[in-house]
Structures are given as C-alpha cells and as structure tokens.
Amino acid sequence: MTRIFSGIKPSGHLTLGNYLGAVRQWVATEQRPDEALFCVVDLHALTVEHDPARVRRLSRQAATLLLAAGLDPRVCTLFVQSHVDEHTRLAYVLECTAADGELRRMIQYKEKAAKAQAAGEGVRLSLLTYPVLMAADILAYGTEEVPVGEDQRQHVELTRDLAVRFNQRYGYTFTVPRATTPAVAARVMDLQQPTSKMGKSEAVGSGIVYLLDEPEVITKKVMRAVTDNEGGVVYEREDRPGAANLLDILAACTGGDPAVLAGGYSGYGQLKRDVAEAVVETLRPVRQRHAELAADPAAVDAVLRAGAERARAIARPVVDRAYEAIGLLVP
Ligand code: AQP
C-alpha cells in the first residue's frame, strides 16, 4: 500500500491548471488500494498579503470543490492543514535541518519576493520558509508519493533532500517521497500569456479558467486565447507555446496525444472551439456537484473535522519519532 499526500492552497479560486495538473490525479488515486490524504494548506496562503476573511472563505470553497471533483471522504482523508498541529510542530525541526541558501534558491520564493517588492509590499519571512512547512506536510505522513503539477517539483526535491539529511544525521525517521506529475497538462499556461503558468493567485484575468466559471465565460476565454501567426497547427512547446497549451488542454480533457491531435487541425478557430467544448464538458459535473455541496457547508465542515482527526492519528507518532531522534524529550 502506497501512502499518498498532496495539498492545495486557498490563495485564490481553483483553476483549470489545479484541476488538470493535480486534482484529477488525486481523484484517480481512489481507484488504487492506497492510502491517500489531501489537504487544504491554508497556512501557505498567509505567506503574501492576504485578506483573512477571503482565506477563510476560500478554504471552505477549496474543500467543497475537491469533494465536487470526486474526492470521496470514505476512501481518502480530506482535511485543513491548520487543524493538525503536527505540521507546524515538525516544520521547526526541519528548519533546523535546512540551510538558508537552499531556501533562497527556490524559484517561487525568488519570483514572489520580487513581485512583493515591486508592489511596495514587505517580503514575509514565511515566504522564504514555507517550502520547509510543505516538507513537514509531506513527511509527517510517511508519504511515498506526492501527486503535483510541474511547478511543485522543486519543493518536493527539497523535501527529499531534507528527509535524507535528517535520516543520515539522526537515524532513519522519514520515508523519502517522490513527486508524480501527469503525462499531459502538468503545467497549464495562462491563455493570454502562454509563457506564464495559469496561477490562481494572479489578478483575475481573461487568461485564467476557473473551475466555477460559467460555460459561456470559459468559451469566451478559450476563443480569445493568444496563439501565433504561423500557418497550420503544430505542437511545439518552445516556439508556439499558445498552440501547445491549447493542445495540452484538449489532450488532457479528451485523452490522446497533443502532437497527434495537432494533425487534425488546419487552423486555430476549430481547435479553440473544440478546446472550449472539452473544457466546458470536463468542468460541468464539478460545477454542478459544487452547487449541491455548497448548500450544506456544515456537512463539508464535518468531513474536514473527521479528516483532521484521522490525519492527526497518523502524523503524531511520526513527528514524535522525529522529536526524539533530534534530541528532544518527548512527554
Ligand atoms: N497551471 C498549473 N498547471 C498544472 N498544475 C498546476 N498546479 C497549480 N497550477 C498549475 C498544481 O495544483 C496544485 C495546487 O497548487 P497550489 O495551490 O500549491 O498553487 P497554485 O495554484 O499555483 O497557486 P498560486 O497561489 O497561484 O501559487 P503560486 O503563485 O505559488 O504558483 C499543485 O500540485 C500545483 O502543482
């Protein structure tokens, strides 16, 4: 049995990138005889300027959307990070294992710190240290597999480095996890800026498809996607990123190979129409189920409470072992 863990941060409304890159993989794990835990990592949403009421609202919305996407709380454990103290308890110990330099090399830190500075905002210390908290999220559960989008690979690599280093210094304590990414759409790009990732914390834009967008809105966004002026439709990620992104999305929604799909089109009009339809149909059941679940927030909260209890029971002994190994008296 493989232990699986992954998380999503309530830093904005969930996007098509989150769904194709991560959430769909999570739902697929339920077909396997494995133990999976999925988490709304709310503490990670506090690393940049945030509105407390919005984070609270988005946390419940993310949990509701994960259930709507197909996570079944009878099969997996769904919970909120801040409900399980073991994450922050372990994070400090891992900070004593990590080096300042390796955290400053993280791409997301560099990009977000530069953005905060450009906006005249201070850079929160947590923006530097949150990859260590993410390592704690993963290692606290003896996780073997972390299904994520491509952008999170570097953080999972850091997690592996910290686990190996801790084990070498203090004796075997942590399972060393590996990242898994989907074969297509591991990095869905912004439809208006196809060289940038479709990110949920970006300002609302016409290049971002949200899971709760109405079908007409999705169609409009896809039809206005930036492509290029070259002739024909060819799958070339470097030279024709807009077209490649549309083909990746189509392949992820319909099954198939993006390069092969390209051969079926002579122009972008039909490709965009097909992508729009595929995305609308992929997201339609999620949106419908979300409307039902959102009508009963108390039921969602009950799922999260039960999930936190199960998660705590798994994490506690792992974190206790780490405390003991590093030299702390465990009560
Ligand atoms: N565009 C994407 N394509 C494929 N996978 C993606 N993921 C995110 N965006 C894409 C994957 O979704 C999971 C949860 O993501 P997250 O909440 O950690 O980060 P985010 O959605 O990328 O949110 P932000 O706030 O916009 O964060 P930054 O600015 O840090 O990128 C992850 O598995 C992620 O890989």
194: its two tokens: 């196809």
Of the listed 9, 110, 115, 200, which one is catalytic? Answer: 200
State residue 65's pLDDT score. 98
Tens-binned pLDDT, residue by residue, of the chain (331 aa): 899 999 999 999 999 999 999 999 999 999 888 899 999 999 999 999 899 999 999 999 999 999 999 999 999 999 999 999 999 999 999 999 999 999 999 999 999 999 889 988 899 999 999 999 999 999 999 999 999 999 999 999 999 999 999 999 999 999 999 999 999 999 999 999 999 999 988 777 899 999 999 999 999 999 999 998 888 899 999 999 999 999 999 999 999 999 999 999 999 999 999 999 999 999 999 999 999 999 999 999 999 999 999 999 999 999 999 999 999 998 8
The pLDDT score that the predictor gives to residue 229 is: 84
CA 215 – CA 218 distance, rounded (Å): 5
Contact 89, 41 (CB under 8 A): no
From 9, 110, 115, 197, active-site residue: 197
DSSP string for 110-151: HHHHHHHHHTTPPPPHHHHHHHHHHHHHHHTTT--EEE--GG
Which DSSP letter does residue 13 get?
-
- Which protein residue has the closest C-alpha to ligand 1 atom 12? 18
**R_g over Cα of the chain:** 20
CA 273/CA 214 separation, integer angstroms: 16
Ligand 1 test: best mutation among 42, 195, 200, most atoms within 8 Å of CB? 200
200 carries an active-site annotation:
yes
The model's pTM is 0.96
Q: Residue 81, exposed/middle/buried by CB under 10 A (0-12, 13-18, 19+)?
A: buried
Whether 221 is catalytic? no
What does the alpha-carbon distance between residue 212 and residue 15 come to, in Å, rounded to a whole number?
8
Q: Which two tokens stand for residue 109?
A: 């830190």
Taken in order of first residue, the domains within the chain and their CATH numbers are 3-181+296-326 (3.40.50.620), 215-292 (1.10.240.10)
Q: Is the CB of 16 under 6 A from ligand 1?
A: no
Query: Order of strands across the sheet with 178-180?
Result: 77-80, 35-40, 3-8, 145-147, 178-180
CB of 8 within 6 A of ligand 1: the answer is: yes
CA neighbor of 20 nearest in space, from 177, 134, 189, 137:
189
